[in-house]
Amino acid sequence: MEKYYMAAMGGADGLGNKSIAQLIKYFGSAKEAWFAKEADLLNSGVRKNSIGAFITWRKKYPDAPENLIGYCDRQKINLCCISDEDYPPILKEIDSPPMFFYYRGTLEPLAERIGIVGTRHNTAYGQGVALELGEELAAAGLTVVSGAARGIDTFAHRGALKSGRTVAVLGNGINFIFPPENKKLLEEIAECGVVLSEFPPQLPPNHGTFPQRNRIIAGLCRGVIVVEANKGSGALITSNFAGDYGRDVFAIPGQIYAEKSKGCNELIRDGATLIKSAQDVLDEYNIEIYEIKNKIVKTVELEGIAAKIFEIIPSDDFISEDDILDKFLEINPGELSEIMIELDLKGCIVEKSGRYKRK
C-alpha cells in the first residue's frame, strides 16, 4: 500500500521526485505524508508552492491511493517504487531517480542494458543501422532500451524484438498510446521485455515529459548509442544525461553534410566513441561471444546502387574508394562513403587502412 500513497503524491503537479523523497524522509512514510496536517507539511522544508500543489491535489482526490490500487489491478499495470527489490539499482545512481514507475512486462533489475536513440525523422541509412544494432546487441544478451518514439527508437525496439529483450521508456502515461501506430509494438515489448513510465497512467505527452523520460533511458543503461541526430534532436539530451551520469556515449558517423548526422558527428568530435557495428560495442565491454538464445540466420539483401557497388568489391584483395569510383561513374564520393558504411554495418565487407574487400 505504501507505494500507492507514493504514486498518488506524484499526481500533484509541481511535486517532483526530490520533494516526494524529502516528505517521506520527514514523515517516515508516504502514507504519513499523505495524511499530514498542512502546518506540518509546510515545516518539512519542501518549497511552499510544491506543498500548495500537493494540498490542492489531496483535497481534490482524497481517495487517490485506494483508487489507484483498483485502477492498476483492472488495467493490469504494475507499480515499482524505489525501495522495492526489483527496482534497478543502476537507476538509483542518477540525480533525482524516479521514486516510482508504472510498468507492464517483467523487470530484470540486474540486466545489462544499452540505449539506442535517435531522430524521429530518420533516413533509410539510420533505419538499417538501428534495426541491426538492436537485433545484434539483443542477441548478444544486452537489453536494448529506447523511448518508443517514431523513427530510430521504433526501429531499435523492432530489431531487439527479433532476437532478445527490450525496454521502452515512455514520455507519457503507460495507458496513453503515443505514437498511436506503435500500439502493437508496445504490446509486443510488454510480452518479452518492459514498457514503463513514471507519469500518471493516462497523462498525454508534452514538451516537458520527454526530457524527464530521456534521463531514465540514460540512467538505466551502461551506455547510450546515438544513431542519427540533428543539432536539435532530443537524442542529444539523452546523450548529455548519459555523460553526466558517467555512462558511455557511442555515436554512429555519417556524412558531414547530412543534417541527420550533424549531432552524431559533433558528439564524436567532442569525445563520444565512434562505432560502426554492434561488435564495436561488444568489444568495448569485452563481450567476446554472442549468447544467442534463439540462433539467428541472417541473409543480407542488397538493392539498387549498394548491390552494384558490392559486385565491384573483390573477395581476394582490397580495393580503395577511388578505384570503385573509377569503375562506377554514376556516384559521387559522398554517396559512396555512405554506402561503404552501410555495407560495413551489414557485415558485407572488411575495411583495412581505407581499403575494402568482401567478407
Confidence of residue 294 (pLDDT cuts 50, 70, 90): very low
Strand pairing partners for 80? 101
Residue 119 parent element (H or E): none
Confidence of residue 301 (pLDDT cuts 50, 70, 90): low
Q: Which of 198, 142, 202, 133 is nearest to 166 (CA)?
A: 142
Which CATH number is correct for 113-284, 3.40.50.300, 3.40.190.10, 3.40.50.450, 3.50.50.60?
3.40.50.450
pLDDT tens-digit series, residues 116-147: 999 999 999 999 999 999 999 999 999 999 99
Contact 260, 121 (CB under 8 A): yes
pLDDT of residue 291: 44
Task: Identify the residue whose cell numbers are 538501428.
Answer: 130
pLDDT of residue 297: 39
Q: Which of 261, 270, 265, 203 is nearest to 242 (CA)?
A: 270
Q: Lowest-pLDDT range, 34-48, 77-91, 156-170, 314-328?
A: 314-328
Confidence of residue 293 (pLDDT cuts 50, 70, 90): very low
pLDDT tens-digit series, residues 314-359: 988 899 998 999 888 788 888 888 888 888 877 788 887 778 988 7
pLDDT of residue 232: 83
pTM, 2 dp: 0.81
**CA triplet 203, 59, 29: central angle to 5 degrees?**
80
pLDDT tens-digit series, residues 8-17: 999 998 899 9
DSSP string, 240-300: HHHHHTT-EEEE----TT-GGGHHHHHHHHTTPEE-SSHHHHHHHTT--S---SS------
Residue 63 burial (10 A CB sphere; 0-12, 13-18, 19+): exposed
- As given in the structure block, the three cell numbers for residue 93 are 545512481
Residue 129 burial (10 A CB sphere; 0-12, 13-18, 19+): buried
Q: For helices 64-75 and 2-9, what crossing angle results, to 10°?
A: 100
Q: Return d(Cα 26, Cα 321) in angstroms, integer.
A: 66
* 304-358 is classed CATH 3.90.320.10: no
Domain residue spans of the chain: 2-75, 113-284, 304-358
